[in-house]
């Protein structure tokens, strides 16, 4: 299938892009890596009459320190660049470990950080990881600029808080404090498929070795990244023993999420995977926190 006809603009600046988005509103869509948008257009699942190609805007591709140990990532930065960047590997290792799970090398060469977030796929690694890390996103329109916390950005299946005339321009990811650990665990039928279930976790220990804070977020179990608040409540202030980790995994998989069944997996199987993966992720995260 080929996409229906569309008008095509290839601006070289963000300002020009914002003008096109303001002029065309709901009819227009930004084109980033095209790894999701073009297949959706070919299948007629998306039918924008205007495409605003972001690929000539060199200003949107960068990785910079934010001055507080975190990073700023330009929206058009390709997955491949993020995955091989030494600053990301050192300061935001959860993202470094997430990138190889995204599709194939071809997808990672074209696909962009901002495109993945804007697409708001509840099975996407970067969507989940950015919520786990408490990231925030800089969004611009012709008239306005705002920062949206990752936890408020994903509002439904393939639906974000972006207005039609808004462009995601930059992502800010903070680094984890001292005595922190992280983990990303997922199960996919074949390597590089979208995960049946995945979980990203971060934990921070206090000086006595108790759990000071934690974040546990699932992918592929709901219409957006699903945060395991109840499980985190169990962990806080407690010594992270094997029993506590088992109890947190049980709480996360039985109370915090309500996965559905589809042709890939039943709800019951997804809960089982969520339980096992949470246990493994918390084990790894707490071990790393002790080492740090
Ligand atoms: P595009 O496809 O160009 O755009 C996606 C959507 O976001 C469009 O609606 C577009 O208008 C909008 N958009 C893009 N940029 C912006 C912006 N800056 N501001 C506002 N709106 C914007 N992803 C995973 O996470 N895990 C996987 O395992 C995985 N496997 C894949 C396997 C295959 C075979 C393919 C083709 C894709 C896979 N993907 C996977 C998706 C991939 O990560 C894409 O890169 C990503 O979903 C979209 O990024 P993109 O840059 O290609 O965006």
**Do both 117 and 194 map to the same domain?**
no
Query: What CATH code is carried by the domain that includes residue 270?
Result: 3.30.390.50
- Proportion of the chain above pLDDT 90, given as a percent: 97
**Do both 62 and 95 map to the same domain?**
yes
Distance CA 171, CA 175 (A): 13
Q: What is the DSSP secondary structure assignment for residue 112, as one 8-state letter? A: B
User: Which residue has 């390709």 as its token pair?
Assistant: 78
Choose one of 128, 144, 173: the last residue of a domain.
Answer: 173
Q: Would you say 89 and 96 are in contact if contact means Cβ atoms under 8 Å apart?
A: yes
Contact 74 CB / ligand 1 (< 6 Å): no
Query: What CATH code is carried by the domain that includes residue 69?
Result: 3.30.465.10
Mutate to test the pocket of ligand 1, among 9, 20, 36 (most ligand atoms within 8 A of CB): 36
Res 123: pLDDT: 97
**Do both 138 and 92 map to the same domain?**
yes
- pLDDT of residue 2 exceeding 90, the answer is no
Instruction: Count the domains in the chain.
Output: 3
Residue 177, C-beta contacts closer than 8 angstroms, at least 6 positions apart:
204
What is the mean pLDDT of the segment spanning 237-250?
98
Q: What mean pLDDT value characterizes the chain?
A: 97
Q: Which residues pair with 154 in a beta bridge?
A: 160
- Taking CA atoms only, the protein residue closest to ligand 1 atom 24 is 124
Res 124: pLDDT: 98
Choose one of 173, 201, 226: the last residue of a domain.
Answer: 173
Res 165: pLDDT: 97
From the CA of 125, give the closest atom in ligand 1.
25
What is the mean pLDDT of the segment spanning 175-192?
94
> Band of the pLDDT at 34, cuts 50, 70, 90?
very high
Res 49: pLDDT: 96
- pLDDT of residue 267 exceeding 80, the answer is yes
Predicted model pTM: 0.97
**Do both 96 and 138 map to the same domain?**
yes
Which residue segment(s) compose the domain that 44 sits in?
7-53
Q: Decide if 2 is inside a domain.
A: no
Q: Decide if 1 is inside a domain.
A: no
Distance CA 216, CA 102 (A): 20
Tokens of 183: 């983990």
> Band of the pLDDT at 191, cuts 50, 70, 90?
confident
**Do both 139 and 47 map to the same domain?**
no
């Amino acid at each position: 299938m080929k996409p229906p006809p569309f008008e095509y603009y290839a601006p070289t600046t963000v300002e020009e892009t914002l003008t096109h988005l303001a002029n065309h509103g709901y009819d227009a869509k930004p084109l980033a890596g095209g790894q999701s948008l073009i297949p959706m257009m070919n299948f007629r699942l998306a039918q924008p009459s205007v495409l605003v190609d972001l690929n000539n805007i060199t200003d949107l591709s960068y990785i910079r320190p934010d001055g507080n140990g975190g990073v700023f990532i330009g929206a058009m930065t390709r997955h491949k660049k993020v995955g091989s960047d030494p600053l990301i590997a050192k300061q935001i290792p959860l993202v470094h470990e997430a990138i190889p799970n995204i599709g194939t090398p071809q997808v990672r060469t074209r696909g962009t950080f901002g495109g993945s977030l804007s697409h708001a796929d509840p099975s996407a690694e970067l969507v989940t990881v950015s919520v786990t890390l408490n990231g925030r996103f800089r969004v611009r329109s012709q008239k306005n600029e705002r920062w949206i916390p990752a936890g408020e950005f994903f509002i439904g299946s393939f639906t974000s808080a972006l207005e039609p005339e808004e462009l995601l321009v930059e992502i800010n990811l903070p680094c984890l404090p001292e005595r922190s650990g992280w983990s990303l665990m997922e199960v996919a039928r074949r390597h590089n498929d979208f995960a049946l279930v995945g979980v990203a976790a971060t934990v921070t220990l206090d000086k006595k070795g108790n759990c000071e804070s934690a974040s546990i977020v699932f992918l592929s179990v709901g219409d957006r990244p699903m945060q395991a608040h109840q499980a985190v409540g169990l962990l806080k202030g407690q010594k992270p023993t094997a029993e506590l980790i088992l109890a947190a995994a049980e709480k996360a998989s039985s109370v915090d999420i309500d996965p559905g069944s589809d042709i890939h997996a039943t709800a019951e199987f997804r809960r089982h995977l969520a339980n096992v993966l949470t246990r493994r992720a918390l084990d790894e995260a707490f071990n790393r926190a002790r080492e740090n």
